[in-house]
Amino acid sequence: MTFDTNRNLPIVGNLINSEFVFAIVCSRFNDTITKRLLEGANDALIRHGVSTSDIYEIWVPGAFEIPVVAKTLAETGRYNAIICLGAIIRGSTGHYDQVANQCASGIQKVQIDTAIPTIFGVLTTDTIEQAIERSGTKAGNKGYESGLSALEMANLMKQLDKKDF
């Protein structure tokens, strides 16, 4: 195999802890689901070498409140990534669409405005059964996946900080 020495290799994040600090913002609304997402996120981080003393959990009333707290945390500069966890389950009104859209937009805005990886680990499901499936049963645990994404993005941002473009 030959390599083109004039070409830079891809820049990628990995799943190795490099003394990163994480914040997890978790919604109390639908807490039977969000507690399982939180367990999954913590499990992913700890299994990949993150100390429990470097994981900060912050609880908010609902998914709509996640972005403002995530932004406040990101602006401190203390966290390498922020994981946002919640469960928005469709009901019989249009409330679901408003909360889901504003939550997603707010989390994305935090990430863009602060350049701190802000992971969208908020379930948006049609039924409680779908939420249960995505919080630790046959569809896996989206909290665990969010923990891995946070670790990978923290590592990627560290690589980008070192890179001379």
Q: Is 140 helix (H, G, I), strand (E, B) or coil?
A: strand
Neighbour-count burial of 56, counting CB atoms closer than 10 A to its CB (0-12 exposed, 13-18 middle, 19+ buried): middle
Give how far Cα 149 sits from Cα of 70, 83, 107, Å.
Answer: 16, 9, 15
Q: Give kind and range of the element (H or E) at residue 109.
A: helix 95-114
Number of other residues whose CB lies within 10 A of the CB of residue 113 = 12
Give how far Cα 110 sits from Cα of 13, 149, 161, Å.
Answer: 21, 16, 19
Q: Both tokens of residue 79?
A: 């966290």
Residues serving a catalytic function are 95
